[in-house]
Amino acid sequence: MEENTSLHWDKFSFLYCLCFMFTLSSCVSNTVNIKPDTEEYSHLVDTPVYIKKSSDKDINIFEGELDECIKTSNTRVNRSSKVGIGFGSYLALGGLYTIATASGVFAPIYVAAGTVGGVLGGSTIFVTRATKEFREYSSLENCLERQGHDVVFYDDGKAKKDKSDL
């Protein structure tokens, strides 16, 4: 009987490791610890984004593609932020309304459901706001890389903080 349990545990741990590897592989980013060469990479002001122009494109085409990617990225981020905050507000207000109007025999169930709705709504709003900058840079990175350019991220402030921690 113990062999069967051990076999079951091995299958479970294999599945766990497989999911863990997929999770780790999705966390890979283009963040670098050494500041990119300014002769090779262009830096977008007030961002951690450094872009290396594709060698087969001239500067005018590059600037046009960059402007288009920035517009597209901003549009996508604004749209997803509005959807995320709107959906979160809907859940939060629906939850609070359910709590406020709960009465009768099912009041405890309504209050519990309203609490869950309020917490989920608030969490959705918080996550949407917290990930806005990442979504903007990720969308910009994807757009520029589709055009053949190389994009890396280097945050001067974070690099200085990391060096001071050593």
Task: List the chain domain ranges.
Answer: 34-165
CA–CA separation, 125 and 127 (whole Å): 6
CA–CA separation, 115 and 98 (whole Å): 8
Please, are residues 59 and 163 in contact by the beta-carbon 8 Å criterion? no
Tell me the mean pLDDT per 10 residues along the chain, length 166: 52 60 52 75 84 85 90 87 90 90 88 91 90 84 89 72 52
Q: How high is the pLDDT of residue 119?
A: 92
Q: How high is the pLDDT of residue 121?
A: 92
- Looking up tokens 């999705």 gives 26
Q: How high is the pLDDT of residue 115?
A: 92
Q: How high is the pLDDT of residue 73?
A: 87
